[in-house]
Structure 1
Amino acid sequence: MREIRSLLARAADGGRITPDEALLLYTQAPLHELGQAADAVRRRRFPDGIATYIIDRNINYTNVCVTACKFCAFYRAPKHEEGWVRDVADIVGKCGEAVELGATQIMLQGGHHPEFGIEWYENAFSSIKAAYPQLALHSLGASEVVHIGRTSGLSHEQVIVRLRDAGLDSFAGAGAEILTERPRAAIAPLKEPGHVWLSVMETAHGLGLESTATFMMGTGETNAERIEHMRMIRDVQDRTGGFRSFIPWTYQPENNHLKGRTQATLFEYLRLVAVARLFFDNVAHLQGSWLTTGKEVGQLTLHLGADDLGSVMLEENVVSSAGARHRTNRTELIHLIRSADRIPAQRDTLYNHLVVHRDPADDPVDERVASHYSSTALPLVQAS
């Protein structure tokens, strides 16, 4: 216990901890003391006491995918009767709806369609930017770069440059899932290995496109493999500084081939959030998830090192297809942050504060700015 307390004190003071030390804290540190140390790091990094959220929309351009990940409930194989493609005009229209509701960011994501080459993405991005140049396109991920490269016969660098020149502002952390070799091969055998995902991100960072880093926990990985996932990200961050935030969330087990109960408990998730804040001394932001764990747990992450509660999420289809049913709205998200003794602020993609909600009397009121799921993969599921 003395070793753990000494380690927590060093980490709370900003000292770098090793993967082995992170594993020790993750598995053995008392939750309260672990949370106190993580919160100390958060307070030193963000002494203004502000916690942020963003208004964005996830737009899915197709559910047709050749990768067939076992955890995914959204995709349909090529030529499946439930497969669909959204045309670019419809995508631009959805962007317009999002702008009207105050969105500043679009996450364009979809399946790895076998017929979509670089030209489709260039047309989509340039069309969005022509209509709504103020929107940040924080979209796709390393897996899409690999797929486009194969489809179009381009190198990863060539794909990234052309996406950037067409209007892409930054990459989402999509496709990371878990980067550690054994569990990644088990749940996504057709997806690129973790080291390739990281290589694409490192290349993107070198070309001026920053990104986020994510982690889907609870698909059968060990505790050590969870820490190894974070170690792989931290090593790249040491070289590039291009990851803006780390975003862990929990696997949802409905309507997919992996099935089973979520194997990461809420306490395991909360402990990982705290350890992540201690471990990632080189990543500025840590986002808590309310979509997969619930609003109360999301709020708790603000006491365990998180400084951001993510998005109001005007639309989300992929994770909700697998069972995530939590919803919120801007008013509620502001209340969650404030009641956690933080000052709420709306941010943009770069984490700049757009509006700081210091006075509750001035809080925005618009019932339309609310999260929404309407899984186009599962037409019988209705949003309530």
Structure 2
Amino acid sequence: MLILKKLKNREKLSLKEAAKLYDMDLFTLGETANTIREKKFGKKTYFNINRHINPSNICKDVCKFCAFSAHRKNPNPYTLSIEECVEIAKNAYAKGAKEVHIVSAHNPYVGYEYYMNIVKAIRGELPDIHIKAFTAAEVNFFSGLSGKSYEKVLDDMIEAGVDSMPGGGAEIFDEKIRAKICKDKVGSENWLKIHELWHKRGKKSNATMLFGHIENRAHRIDHILRIRDLQEKTGGFNAFIPLVYQRKNNYLNVKKFLSGVEILKTMAISRILLENIPNIKAYWVTTTLNLSLVAQNYGANDIDGTIEKESINSAAGANSANGLKLDELVHLIKDSGYIPVERDSLYNELKIYK
């Protein structure tokens, strides 16, 4: 097949060519993706010990796929104090967490400094912990809230103690789809711009793609190729994370859920098209634990981490509210035929579980 020949010759595929990858059978795609994966990582599967902190669920935006923000389907608004956020981080660190992952709703009532002060306070108490905080969507919100440029917001984040950025808020880059599912959120060009500015500051980030809702395969390919192009320019993405849409408690009313085959094809295609991004994460929270482990045969080499507590996707039906125990995660990876490797947030290996 011409497309496979081009891939073997390490030629870049056009959008039209890349879209044809979905027409290939699952096992051919899987074999191609797994070859790339094993050249990079062998049988290693990465995870980290981390804790998610979601400071507030009060949001000025109304994304139709979201079940986390306080609205008609989630009538329980909350905002954590800075002290509560610090206490959560300290408790997690005492249990072995190497990273706190801070993502919030876009709460316009607490002020710009609230967000920066959360990071400053955690950094002051825990100088060694890695702080992954604030998506590009949040950076865009902070800019509007404060009147500061993207550049100034990012500089403030670094000064506060942010080490890396998560990849959320990307959803699907096609603007017609965004107008339907997340109309008021950061646009695709500004999402990419914010990550480019972050990378220019010598910092790393992740990239995501939310799929399985009202987008089609061509939209996914377009999204992946735009990530590929920015990575060529900056080299700043650590990982690409295809996030499977969770269908409960939101307003998209998607009736048909993706098949496991479609999810695995998307994982494999991500690995095939994004050879310039080191890691493909099958995020167990949205993919399900079992399918995330299967995805290790289809190009993925990471399943995220212990998490401890997860609020955003569990509100939409994911079975992730209480995270995973370390020994359970290690045993599951081993039972799948892979070597569990604890990593830090920048993918330095900390411990190999033989």
| TM-score above 0.5, yes or no | yes
Give the structure 1 partner of residue 26 of structure 2.
Answer: 31
- Structure 2 unpaired stretches of 5+: none
Structure 2 counterpart of 1:45, from 40, 59, 66: 40
Report the secondary structure of 1:92's partner residue. helix
- Which residue of the partner structure matches residue 183 of structure 1? 177
Residue 10 of structure 1 deviates from its aligned partner by: 4.1
Distance 1:16 1:329, change over 3 A: farther
- The 1:21–1:335 alpha-carbon spacing in structure 2 relative to 1, beyond 3 Å, is farther
CA distance in structure 2 between the aligned counterparts of 1:216 and 1:353, rounded to whole angstroms: 28
Q: Distance in 2 between matches of 1:98 and 1:262?
A: 38
Q: Does the alignment pair 1:167 with 2:161?
A: yes
Residue in structure 2 matching 1:340, options 336, 344, 347? 336
Taking the aligned partners of 1:167 and 1:77, their CA distance within structure 2 comes to 31
Contact 1:220/1:263 (8 A) holds in 2? no
Q: Of residues 95, 105, 119 in structure 1, which corresponds to 2:99?
A: 105
Q: Unpaired segments of 5 or more residues in structure 1?
A: 359-384
The CA deviation string for residues 35-60 of structure 1, in whole angstroms up to 9 with x for no partner, is 0010001111224x321111111111
Distance 1:208 1:116, change over 3 A: farther
Mapped contact 1:129–1:135 kept (Cα < 8 A) = yes
Distance 1:32 1:336 in 2: 23
Q: Tell me how large the CA RMSD over aligned residues is.
A: 1.7
Deviation string, structure 1 residues 55-110 (Cα, Å, up to 9, x no partner): 111111011100110111111259x9632210011100000111122111111111
Aligned equivalent of 1:277 = 271
Q: Pick from 222, 226, 235 the counterpart of residue 241 of structure 1.
A: 235
Q: Hey, what's the Cα distance between the residues in 2 that align with 1:100 and 1:262? A: 43
Letter in 1 for 2:191: W
State the distance in 1 between where 2:105 and 2:14 align: 36
Normalising by structure 2, what TM-score? 0.95
- TM-score using structure 1 length: 0.87
Structure 1 residue 341, shift from structure 2 partner: 2.4
Match of 2:222?
A: 228
Equivalent pairs, count: 351
Secondary structure of the corresponding residue to residue 346 of structure 1? strand
Name whichever of 157-166 and 178-187 sits farther off.
178-187
User: Deviation at 1:191?
Assistant: 0.8
Pairing 1:309-320 to 2, within 5 Å after superposition: 309-320=303-314
Distance in 2, matches of 1:338 and 1:84, equals 39
Q: How does 1:244-323 map to 2 (within 5 A)?
A: 244-261=238-255, 263-323=257-317
* Structure 2 match to 1:382: none
Cα distance between partner residues in 1 of 2:179 and 2:228: 21
SS of the equivalent of 1:52 reads strand
Q: Deviations over 1:228-247 (max 9, x none)?
A: 11111111111111111000
Structure 2 counterpart of 1:380: none
Sequence identity percentage:
33
Which residue is 1:369 aligned to? none
Q: Which amino acid aligns with 2:282?
A: G
Secondary structure at 1:288 match in 2: coil
Say if 2:94 is the partner of 1:126.
no
Local SS of the residue matching 1:292? helix
SS at match of 2:309: coil
1:345 is paired with a residue whose SS is: strand
Contact 1:61 1:86 in 2 (8 A): yes
Amino acid at match of 1:20: K
Residue 22 in 1 paired to residue 18 in 2?
yes
Aligned counterparts of 2:174 and 2:330: Cα–Cα separation in 1: 35
Counterparts of 1:88 and 1:40, CA distance in 2: 46
Pair 1:114-2:108 in alignment: yes
Cα distance in 2, alignment partners of residues 295 and 149 from structure 1: 36
- Aligned partners of 2:84, 2:214: CA distance in 1, in Å? 38
